[in-house]
């Protein structure tokens, strides 16, 4: 990791020398916080094997520093930190409108000249795009008093300077300020930050051509940048946004398998069976008044209609790949609040014991993952992985750091890079064993977490949950065995195996960012080339979260680190 950033982060957490319990954080937990704030899904490496209830404060969403919408007075222009290397497509403009559509220097040309009022818009677009007009006429916008919220309200009047409304445009004080502001209270991984964070501060979008990662952009921009992802345009009917499927487009698949967890569980079954019966699901009622026969996504995660979907989160972060000391007093209040969501239909004991079952399942998953990781790490340390990090084409930063090296926990020189630097979970161009590790924790452990969290135990254990981790553990042991047997044979007969060149270069690999940096900026890394502060450097924890952690630390008699300051 870039040294400047690293020091900044550490000092941000620790303030000016807070000691005692917090001082202990220095050695391990500070790095954990550092990690979670910059490198998303690494924490599992460091998750604690000690018994619960030992009182330690571990990292978690609550400890994360950077959250919510930018608070910096002069925020860097989107797309932020690594924008130099971020490649986009013209169609991205619809998903990141303020950056790619609404600025004069990028606004697409338009053949129609003139300024128009609502009636004129409608007259013409009834022919040009009749579906939009038909939907608009059904909307509350068209019936607003004293005057309709018209096409021009959101898109402007000058047809040469039309705007594509962003969520900011909807969140003005005249319109939907409450919802916009509530959404902005979310932390890392929330709707409020998924675009700026995921698109321009993480390797996965930076390192590859835009056609190859269009799907990342599609979902990771949606809720931060546009209200219309969840509120179907141009009717914007809230009763439609209350249905569970509305969350499905993004919250589905591999490492975001929320929809599957819900749909396959009993909650989803109740929903699917009753959803068109107005006696069981009266969609016209506001969320705050909803008395559904079973929960929707929105009913639990946006309880009462609040637009920060993280309010009732667990202690777990990074989609279940991290693990906090779940029984520690500091988390009790947060965990009780989670359990309280179930109280319409379930006893407190039922909810608590389900949370406990989730704890156990995630703990078991962690055990399996650490066994999995160990096999991979030993292979690299013994120098018998094929390919070794040096044999691959440069990573997104232009270096050869092992993809599973996480500075705070696995700071082994054998893993490449400088002390404290971290690799990056990679989907492409890594050894089979690295990819197996990534999948085990990123696909299966997250699934276990999400399944258990949604009361879908079947989902958590079965298909691609704990049975998937079992399988991947077999895979990695098989892989490592073959690598070791080959290495032993080669040593015995005097062969020095030179890894195949296709790991280093190829028709596809040559299109990645790493080789580009090495070729065009010899001796530099992406961190050298992008020294300006990015989104992560200009965001702070929401007041509510800071208040919680400070209050609990005080209650527990610990010294207080300074949270939220920007250095």
What residues between 142 and 181 interact with a second copy by CB under 8 A? none
In the 3-class helix/strand/coil scheme, how is 77-134 assigned residue by residue?
Answer: CCCCCCHHHCCCCHHHHHCCHHHHCCCCCCCCCCCCCCECCHHHHHHHHHHHCHHHHH
- Do residues 239 and 209 lie in contact, with contact meaning Cβ atoms separated by under 8 Å? no
| Residue 431 lies near a second copy (rule: CB under 8 A) | yes
Neighbours of 144 (CB within 10 A): 13
* Helical spans, DSSP H, in 408-566: 432-439, 446-453, 457-461, 466-493, 513-520, 526-529, 543-555
The residues with which 158 forms a beta bridge, in sequence order, are 115
* Percent helix, strand and coil across the chain, each to the nearest 5: 55, 0, 45
Euclidean distance between CA atoms 505 and 387, whole angstroms: 13
What residues between 493 and 512 interact with a second copy by CB under 8 A? 493-495, 497, 499-500, 502-503, 506-509, 511
Instruction: Tell me the per-residue interface mask from 94 to 113 with a second copy, x by CB under 8 A, - otherwise.
Output: x-------------x-----
Q: Which stretch binds a second copy (CB under 8 A): 31-39, 53-61, 176-184, 353-361?
A: 353-361
Among 2, 326, 435, 450, binds a second copy (CB under 8 A): 435
- Do residues 44 and 366 lie in contact, with contact meaning Cβ atoms separated by under 8 Å? yes
| Residue 47 lies near a second copy (rule: CB under 8 A) | no
> Least separation, in Å, of the C-beta of 343 and a second copy?
6
What residues between 278 and 297 interact with a second copy by CB under 8 A? 279, 291, 293-294
| Residue 194 lies near a second copy (rule: CB under 8 A) | no
Euclidean distance between CA atoms 92 and 75, whole angstroms: 21
* Helical spans, DSSP H, in 115-202: 118-128, 130-138, 151-155, 167-170, 177-183, 194-200
Among 77, 128, 144, 556, binds a second copy (CB under 8 A): 128
Among 7, 26, 118, 266, binds a second copy (CB under 8 A): 266
Q: Which of 290, 323, 328 is nearest to 448 (CA)?
A: 323
Q: Which stretch binds a second copy (CB under 8 A): 88-96, 325-333, 530-538, 553-561?
A: 88-96
> Least separation, in Å, of the C-beta of 213 and a second copy?
6
> Least separation, in Å, of the C-beta of 53 and a second copy?
16
Euclidean distance between CA atoms 229 and 169, whole angstroms: 14
Among 56, 107, 137, 243, binds a second copy (CB under 8 A): 243
> Least separation, in Å, of the C-beta of 506 and a second copy?
4
Among 53, 117, 160, 481, binds a second copy (CB under 8 A): 481
Q: Which stretch binds a second copy (CB under 8 A): 30-38, 182-190, 371-379, 415-423?
A: 371-379
Q: Between 485 and 524, name the residue whose CB sits nearer to a second copy.
A: 485
Euclidean distance between CA atoms 376 and 128, whole angstroms: 58
> Least separation, in Å, of the C-beta of 141 and a second copy?
15
Q: Between 215 and 531, name the residue whose CB sits nearer to a second copy.
A: 215
| Tokens 């207080």 sit on residue | 560
Q: Which stretch binds a second copy (CB under 8 A): 181-189, 411-419, 429-437, 521-529?
A: 429-437
Euclidean distance between CA atoms 187 and 247, whole angstroms: 18
Among 219, 401, 517, 526, binds a second copy (CB under 8 A): 219
Backbone dihedral angles phi then psi of residue 496, each to the nearest 5 degrees: -100, 105
Q: Between 66 and 373, name the residue whose CB sits nearer to a second copy.
A: 373
Among 195, 354, 445, 525, binds a second copy (CB under 8 A): 354
| Residue 344 lies near a second copy (rule: CB under 8 A) | yes
Euclidean distance between CA atoms 260 and 265, whole angstroms: 8
Euclidean distance between CA atoms 451 and 413, whole angstroms: 37
> Least separation, in Å, of the C-beta of 36 and a second copy?
23
Q: How far is CA 444 from CA 229, 354, 465, 502, in A?
A: 27, 19, 5, 29
What residues between 538 and 567 interact with a second copy by CB under 8 A? none
Q: Between 18 and 427, name the residue whose CB sits nearer to a second copy.
A: 427
Among 480, 517, 526, 536, binds a second copy (CB under 8 A): 480
Q: Which stretch binds a second copy (CB under 8 A): 9-17, 25-33, 152-160, 458-466?
A: 458-466
Q: Measured on CA atoms in the order 562, 38, 435, 256, is the torsion positive or negative? A: positive
Cα-to-chain-centroid distance, residue 541: 16
> Least separation, in Å, of the C-beta of 251 and a second copy?
10
| Residue 341 lies near a second copy (rule: CB under 8 A) | no
The residues with which 115 forms a beta bridge, in sequence order, are 158
Among 123, 285, 467, 521, binds a second copy (CB under 8 A): 467
Q: Between 10 and 357, name the residue whose CB sits nearer to a second copy.
A: 357
Q: Between 149 and 296, name the residue whose CB sits nearer to a second copy.
A: 296
> Least separation, in Å, of the C-beta of 520 and a second copy?
20
Euclidean distance between CA atoms 94 and 108, whole angstroms: 11
- Do residues 199 and 216 lie in contact, with contact meaning Cβ atoms separated by under 8 Å? yes
- Cβ neighbors of 15 (< 8 A, separation 6 or more) are 561, 562, 565
> Least separation, in Å, of the C-beta of 271 and a second copy?
9
Euclidean distance between CA atoms 446 and 452, whole angstroms: 10
| Residue 8 lies near a second copy (rule: CB under 8 A) | no
Q: Between 209 and 329, name the residue whose CB sits nearer to a second copy.
A: 209
Q: Which stretch binds a second copy (CB under 8 A): 1-9, 417-425, 482-490, 526-534?
A: 482-490
What residues between 56 and 75 interact with a second copy by CB under 8 A? none
Neighbours of 26 (CB within 10 A): 14
């Amino acid at each position: 990791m870039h040294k400047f950033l690293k020091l900044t982060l550490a000092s941000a957490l620790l303030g000016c020398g807070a000691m005692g319990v917090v001082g202990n954080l220095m050695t391990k937990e500070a790095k954990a916080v550092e990690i979670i704030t910059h490198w998303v899904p690494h924490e599992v490496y460091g998750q604690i094997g000690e018994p619960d209830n030992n009182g330690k404060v571990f990292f978690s969403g609550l400890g994360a520093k950077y959250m919510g919408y930018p608070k910096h007075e002069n925020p860097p222009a989107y797309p932020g930190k690594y924008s130099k290397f971020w490649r986009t497509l013209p169609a991205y403009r619809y998903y990141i409108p303020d950056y790619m559509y609404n600025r004069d220097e990028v606004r697409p040309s338009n053949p129609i000249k003139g300024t128009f009022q609502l009636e004129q818009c409608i007259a013409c677009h009834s022919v040009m795009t009749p579906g939009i007009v038909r939907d608009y006429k059904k909307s509350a916008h068209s019936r607003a008093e004293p005057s309709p919220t018209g096409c021009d309200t959101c898109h402007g009047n000058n047809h040469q300077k039309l705007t594509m409304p962003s969520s900011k445009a909807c969140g003005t004080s005249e319109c939907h300020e409450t919802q916009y502001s509530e959404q902005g209270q979310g932390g890392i991984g929330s709707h409020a930050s998924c675009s700026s964070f995921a698109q321009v501060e993480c390797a996965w979008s930076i390192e590859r051509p835009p056609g190859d990662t269009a799907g990342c952009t599609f979902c990771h921009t949606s809720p931060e940048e546009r209200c219309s992802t969840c509120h179907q345009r141009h009717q914007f009917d809230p009763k439609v946004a209350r249905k569970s499927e509305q969350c499905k487009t993004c919250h589905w698949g591999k490492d975001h398998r929320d929809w599957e967890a819900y749909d396959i569980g009993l909650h989803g079954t109740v929903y699917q069976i009753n959803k068109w019966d107005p006696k069981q699901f009266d969609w016209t009622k506001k969320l705050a008044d909803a008395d559904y026969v079973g929960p929707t996504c929105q009913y639990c995660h946006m309880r009462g209609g609040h637009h920060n979907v993280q309010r009732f989160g667990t202690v777990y972060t990074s989609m279940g790949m991290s693990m906090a000391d779940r029984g520690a007093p500091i988390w009790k209040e947060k965990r009780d609040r989670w359990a309280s969501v179930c109280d319409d239909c379930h006893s407190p004991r039922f909810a608590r014991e389900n949370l406990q079952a989730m704890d156990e399942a995630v703990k078991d998953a962690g055990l399996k993952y650490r066994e999995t990781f160990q096999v991979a790490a030993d292979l690299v340390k013994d120098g018998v992985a094929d390919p070794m990090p040096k044999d691959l084409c440069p990573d997104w930063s232009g270096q050869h750091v092992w993809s599973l090296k996480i500075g705070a926990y696995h700071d082994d020189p054998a893993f490449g890079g400088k002390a404290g630097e971290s690799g990056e979970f990679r989907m492409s161009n890594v050894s089979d064993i690295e990819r197996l590790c990534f999948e085990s924790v990123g696909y299966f452990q997250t699934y276990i977490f999400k399944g258990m969290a949604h009361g879908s135990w079947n989902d958590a254990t079965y298909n691609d949950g704990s049975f998937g981790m079992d399988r991947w553990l077999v895979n990695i042991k098989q892989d490592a065995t073959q690598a070791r047997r080959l290495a032993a044979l080669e040593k015995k007969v005097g062969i020095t195996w030179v890894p195949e060149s296709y790991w280093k270069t190829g028709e596809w690999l040559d299109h990645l960012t790493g080789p580009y940096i090495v070729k065009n900026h010899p001796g530099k890394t992406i961190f050298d080339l992008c020294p300006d502060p990015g989104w992560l450097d200009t965001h702070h924890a929401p007041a509510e979260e800071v208040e919680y952690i400070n209050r609990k630390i005080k209650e527990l008699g610990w010294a207080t680190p300074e949270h939220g300051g920007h250095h």
